[in-house]
Amino acid sequence: MTATLKTYWHGLGPADRYVAWIALALAGGGVVAVYSATAFLGGGADGAQGYLWRHGGRVVLALAAMALFSAIDYRGLARISRPLLVGALGVLAVTKVIGVAQGGAQRWIDLGVVGFQPSEAVKGALLLHVAVLLVKKQGYIKSFERAFTPVFFWAFAAIALIGLDDLSTAAIVLAAVMLMCFVARVSALQLGGLALTGAALAFVLLCFSPSRAARVESYTGVDLFPGTAAE
């Protein structure tokens, strides 16, 4: 086992090692945060140690999955990026109908042993496909119809579906897509249009969700939406 890990580590490039160190640091910080936040629960299976062991197990599984996917040639994933995104969007749409509601939002699929959020798959598939599109269209990246429209279509579809139940995650995904477009030299006018579309979509979603709108108004102290009152 140790020899396998050493072989894997030495096979990584310099940039990959930095990414791996960052992932390990974030995972370790998360374990410490979970243990610190649950320390008041005391011992026992449902106490701080129970939470620590469960979270530690999830971290190990996540790191193993990261190592597994890092061994996959990204060019192979790039070739199937569109089917991956279409499939993830389809599962997310189905989740809105038959998914399991937790925390007031219907965003989970129950797999028996574990729960699964299709929005997580959509995030990864969207960023992968956007990266593929931006690379392929570098020769005419300033073109609205040929370059920006396909990116906008997939980003809007994914962010709208995610935002129905999780507006904060949708905002993070939009920011990531905009950052990728900026690095890929998409025009500032098109980036501004994407940002305005995202803001308009968020406003519409909040108008149809009074509870979330009320939280935004409570945070800002400004009456922004009809049917609610800022506190």
pLDDT of the residue at 231: 43
Domain shared by 25 and 124, yes or no: no
- Could you report the per-residue pLDDT of 7-19, keeping only the tens digit for each? 666 666 677 778 8
Token code pair at residue 1: 């086992």
- Read off the pLDDT band of 228 (50, 70, 90): low
**Crossing angle between the packed helical segments 149-163 and 188-207, to the nearest 10 degrees:** 20
Which tops the pLDDT comparison, 50 or 134? 134
Domain shared by 61 and 88, yes or no: no
Domain shared by 104 and 191, yes or no: yes
3-state secondary structure of 41: helix
What is the average pLDDT value for the chain, to the nearest integer?
Answer: 81
pLDDT of the residue at 230: 44
Q: Is residue 185 part of a domain?
A: yes
Last residue of a domain, one of 12, 41, 71: 71
pLDDT for residue 178 is more than 90? yes
- The residue-averaged pLDDT of 163-181 equals 91
Q: Is residue 140 part of a domain?
A: yes
Q: Is residue 230 part of a domain?
A: no
Last residue of a domain, one of 51, 71, 91: 71
pLDDT of the residue at 131: 94
Domain shared by 124 and 204, yes or no: yes
Domain shared by 81 and 67, yes or no: no
Least confident of 44-53, 71-80, 117-126, 175-184: 44-53
Last residue of a domain, one of 71, 97, 129: 71
pLDDT of the residue at 57: 86
Q: Is residue 229 part of a domain?
A: no
Helix%, strand%, coil% for the chain, nearest 5: 75, 5, 20
- Counting the structural domains of the chain, the total is 2
Domain limits for position 94:
77-220
- The residue-averaged pLDDT of 97-104 equals 66
Q: Is residue 225 part of a domain?
A: no
Using CB atoms within 10 Å of the CB of residue 25, give its burial: 0 to 12 exposed, 13 to 18 middle, 19+ buried. exposed
- Could you report the per-residue pLDDT of 101-154, keeping only the tens digit for each? 665 566 677 666 666 788 888 999 999 999 999 999 999 999 999 999 999 999
Q: Is residue 48 part of a domain?
A: yes
pLDDT of the residue at 34: 79
Which residues does residue 109 pair with via DSSP β-bridges, in sequence order? 116
3-state secondary structure of 102: strand
Q: Is residue 58 part of a domain?
A: yes
Domain shared by 30 and 98, yes or no: no
pLDDT for residue 229 is more than 70? no
Q: Is residue 231 part of a domain?
A: no
pLDDT of the residue at 176: 95
